[in-house]
Amino acid sequence: MLVKPFLHSHGVDRLRGVVLTHGDISHVEGYARLVKEFDPEVTYTSAARSRSKVYREILKGLKTDTNRWRVVAAGDQVCRLEYFASEDWRGFCEGG
């Protein structure tokens, strides 16, 4: 995992949140390891359905701990990013 040494070198040992934009394997395959290494407080997902078995398994696990899972919809804001649509994740950060 390339993210781990980078984050640790910047003093990050825990993440406030993780955003899974969609179920594409290149976006979700490292999620389990990220959770193990950085214990995110919350995971954000969309309500979009996915054929990805890995993504469906992640969602199944998140359903057991709803305090650490948020489903976002169009217009919701997450960490100053606005979610536009379930198929079209385009974020922007106002003021920085």
- Stated pTM of the model: 0.75
Residue 40 near residue 49 (C-beta atoms within 8 A):
no
SS3 83: coil
> How far is 59 from 52, CA to CA, in rounded Å?
11
pLDDT tens column, 28-56: 988 999 999 999 999 999 888 888 999 99
Distances in Å between the alpha carbon of 4 and those of 18, 60, 89?
14, 25, 25
Residues counted in the chain:
96
Residue 40 near residue 16 (C-beta atoms within 8 A):
yes
pLDDT tens column, 77-96: 776 655 444 444 444 333 33
Strand partners, 44: 19, 70
pLDDT tens column, 14-32: 888 898 988 888 889 889 9
Question: What are the structure tokens assigned to 40, written together?
Answer: 């995110």
Q: Which amino acid, 16?
A: R
